A and B are shown apart, each in its own frame.
Chain A
Amino acid sequence: MLDIHNLSISFQRYTRGFVRETLSPVSDVSLSVHAGEIVALIGASGAGKSLLAHAMLGLLPKNATLKGDFRFKGEDLSPARIRELRGREIALIPQSVSHLNPLIRVGKQVYRSARLSGRCHCTASASCDNAFSRYQLAETIKAQFPFQISGGMARRVLTATATAGKADLIIADEPTTGLDPEVTEQSLTHLQELAAQQKGVLLITHDLENAARIADTLVVLYDGRTVEITPTSSLSEGTASLHPYTRALWQALPQNGFIRFPHAVEKDDVRKCGCAFACRCPEATSSCRDRMPPLKQIGEKMMRCTHVTG
């Protein structure tokens, strides 16, 4: 459904004098989402995940340039086309209740979301009611304001806004951050239900543990580049075939050994042209530091590392 190849997002800005500086927080991202698949986009803060989500919804500021292949259902997406599709075929489940208007009742906001997705007046009403009952939200919740509902209810309401429409691709932004285990469980179950309805789900998170539980594919982002695309099943087969970064993340989890994440060996402020992870990678060689490895297909995976083969 969604196909992204070599996507880069860069910003231009003026520094002293006439000098124009180009920042590229996202330089080479590839991922794809199929119907009924849950893809987890893993990355640390600052890796470019939110930027990617912005780009997919056409919310980048004016001085941003988007390059690369960006296809949805086989169609190339231009900014104008994204504006048409967002809310209708691509929907967002935002991170927190601050994304809801504090002065409008929750039911009305879900209804509006349904209307914006292209439904007419009556179907929108019905769909809003459906969404509320599907997520076990009582009728009385519709009249509440966002500040009146609890964290778990808020999560369900936010999911309802995305599913009140007919969207086929759901982007879930950090659905588990800062929530207690019960609510997290619920949130993840809802995403699984969406996938079961043959929708595509892109799960953006830094929570590898929860993502690994429900995702079919993992896309790992480091410093604005995709470093690995792997089916989640390969995690349980052993960490030897993983990208060093993914391996380090996985092993850092309490239940996997709680091994300390490698620190930067050299002070590396200047961006070198080699692999960005080289300064922390225990397997780094000089060839890693000289040349950026390309994203290669290795079996079922895509990998950007000179050390992992076959």
Chain B
Amino acid sequence: MNVQSLPITESVQFSLIPALSNRRRAWLACLLCGGFFLALVVTAGILGTSGLDIDFLHRKLAPSLAYPFGTDWLGRDMLVRTVHGLCRSLSIGLLAAGCSSVISVGIGIMAATMGRRVDSILSLLIDIVMATPHLVLLILVSFACGGGARGVVIAVAVSHWPRLARILRAEILQLRTSEFISISRRLGKTPGWIALHHMLPHLIPQFMIGLILMFPHAILHAAGLTFLGFGLTPHNPSIGILLSESMRHLSTGYWWLAILPGLSLVCTVKLFDILGNNLRTLLDPRTTQD
């Protein structure tokens, strides 16, 4: 009795917009999320430094119409600070994720194609990096770089590559032994041709998907590191630093200083997650035809 031969899944998919296929829904989601991020960046540009002047007359005001996120202990508009902080956090996270993915591609390809000795050394390296608890590694690297925003970017970049590198390495190794590649080789195609026409179409979606899924993690880890105090920059703080400064005021009842910026971070990361998942639906060859 072969259950897999049943053509239909157990339950009917429930969706708010049943009229759209999976593919169209994914496009719509991507557009909406992309639009949000664009709006964020544009807002930060438009707002500039307005609202960031120190104004002791309007210190620690609760959220209201004039100040949707309230003001902080120096009278600065929390909404403006949050928007800038989000942009900063996003840029740190994206930069770190970008570097990380480049490293993982390099190491993944090297490990899978340069012979067994190189492979064992690199695999050992991957294992060691993954054996250290993530946050401890982040702290170590940050310390090694002397702190600052640069240290945070490097730390996040250096601790996220192992997972993707492992996936890419496994994928390449599997491809190399697959039948269609060996047939290609026997037909006389050059390794370069095989790499371009057979391997890349497999690897690029995996890489894009891995990269996209890495963003939320990178952003959250970067925020965590800066929260702990490792990425202090004198001006233009990221959300992590914002939250760490605001934490002091929690116990005295000024909850909006910490809760609201954090909430915006959660929403932003969630939107990134949705963007990522929908991009995956579009890019993954298995689901892109739905």
Question: Does A95 touch B at the CB level, under 8 Å?
Answer: yes
1/0 per residue, CB under 8 A from A, across B5-22: the answer is 111111111000011010
Are A50 and B5 in contact, CB atoms less than 8 angstroms apart? Answer: yes
Number of A-B residue pairs with CB-CB distance less than 8 Å in the complex they form = 43
Give min CB distance, B288 to chain A, whole Å: 14
The answer on a CB contact under 8 Å between B19 and A18 is yes
Contact A51-B8, Cβ < 8 Å, known A14-B18, A18-B18, A99-B1? no
Q: What CA separation (Å) do A25 and B7 show in the bound complex?
A: 9
Given A14-B18, A17-B19, A18-B19, check contact A61 B6 (CB 8 Å): yes
**Do most interface residues of chain B lie in helix, strand or loop, or is the interface mixed?**
loop
Instruction: Name the residue on B nearest A94 (C-beta).
Output: B1
Q: B1: which A residues are within 8 A, CB to CB? A: 50, 53-54, 92, 94-95, 99, 173
**Chain B interface, number of residues (Cβ within 8 angstroms):** 14
**Pick the contact of A61 from B2, B10, B19 — CB < 8 Å?**
B10
Question: Bound complex: CA of A182 vs CA of B5, how far in Å?
Answer: 29
Q: Once the chains are docked, how many angstroms separate the CA of A18 from the CA of B8?
A: 17
List the A residue with the shortest CB-CB distance to B15: A14
Q: Which residues of B contact A54 (CB under 8 A)?
A: 1, 6
- Determine whether A308 belongs to the interface, using a CB cutoff of 8 Å to chain B: no
Query: Could you say which residues of chain B place their CB within 8 Å of the CB of A18?
Result: 18-19
A118, B34: Cα distance in complex, Å: 60
Name, among B1, B6, B11, the residue most crowded by chain A CB atoms within 10 Å (CB to CB): B1
Task: Mark out the residues of chain A between 1 and 57 whose CB falls within 8 Å of any chain B CB in the assembled complex.
Answer: 11, 13-14, 16-18, 23, 25, 45-46, 50-51, 53-54
Binding site for B on A (CB under 8 A): 11, 13-14, 16-18, 23, 25, 45-46, 50-51, 53-54, 61-64, 92, 94-95, 99, 173
List the 8 shortest-distance A-B pairs measured between CB atoms, nearest first.
A11-B8, A173-B1, A61-B10, A16-B21, A94-B1, A50-B1, A13-B8, A50-B2
Q: Give the interface of B toward A (CB within 8 A).
A: 1-2, 5-13, 18-19, 21
